[in-house]
């Protein structure tokens, strides 16, 4: 295994822009743009852990307390297991699976993985929307690249 500084740098490294996904947080009243939040998937977290410490040097364990899943994410650093934990509630999509994935991603942030994403501006980005059965506007898809609207980072190539 590599030295600790190398591990921390690998864990905290930016992800390639094409691996960053964007979800709509709020939709404008007219449905023409939405507030875009950057995120990574649980699979990207697992890949980053494999790259930074190796598949045999990390482990995740879940506990459930009320409606919250707690992910205990352990890494073997310098021959010792160190655990950091965080939790998440159920999600709107695939409630239990989403809850476990979100808990893993939150615990990974404690290790520096994707932490920089919280510093990215959440821009308003043009989008398409539709009216659901309750006649409420719902986000459908981005019509522009959210990176083109982020002000506090270099633009994607």
Task: Take residue 128 and report the two structure tokens written for it.
Answer: 């398409």
3-state secondary structure of 98: helix
Calpha distance 19→113 (Å, rounded) = 13
Each of the 157 residues of the chain gets a pLDDT tens digit; together they read 446 789 999 999 999 999 999 999 999 999 999 999 999 999 999 999 999 999 999 999 999 988 889 999 999 998 999 999 999 887 666 667 778 999 999 999 999 999 999 999 899 999 999 999 999 999 999 999 999 999 977 654 3
Q: How far is CA 53 from the centre of its chain?
A: 19
Report the pLDDT value the prediction gives residue 1, as an integer from 0 to 100. Answer: 42
Report the pLDDT value the prediction gives residue 112, as an integer from 0 to 100. Answer: 97
Report the pLDDT value the prediction gives residue 81, as an integer from 0 to 100. Answer: 97
Calpha distance 38→9 (Å, rounded) = 21
Calpha distance 41→48 (Å, rounded) = 11
Do 125 and 22 form a contact (C-beta atoms < 8 A)? yes
Predicted TM-score (pTM) of the model is 0.83
Report the pLDDT value the prediction gives residue 93, as an integer from 0 to 100. Answer: 61
Q: How far is CA 114 from the centre of its chain?
A: 7
């Amino acid at each position: 295994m590599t030295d600790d500084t190398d591990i921390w740098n690998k864990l905290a490294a930016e992800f390639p822009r094409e691996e960053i996904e964007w979800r709509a947080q709020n939709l404008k009243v007219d449905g023409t743009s939405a507030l875009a939040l950057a995120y990574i998937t649980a699979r990207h977290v697992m890949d980053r852990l494999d790259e930074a410490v190796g598949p045999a040097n990390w482990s995740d364990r879940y506990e459930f307390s009320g409606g919250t899943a707690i992910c205990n994410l352990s890494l073997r650093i310098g021959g010792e297991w160190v655990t950091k934990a965080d939790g998440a509630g159920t999600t709107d999509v695939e409630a239990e699976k989403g809850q476990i994935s979100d808990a893993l991603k939150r615990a990974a942030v404690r290790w520096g993985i994707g932490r920089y994403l919280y510093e990215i501006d959440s821009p308003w980005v043009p989008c398409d929307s539709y009216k659901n059965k309750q006649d409420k506007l719902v986000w459908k898809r981005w019509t522009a690249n959210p990176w083109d609207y982020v002000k506090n980072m270099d633009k994607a190539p």
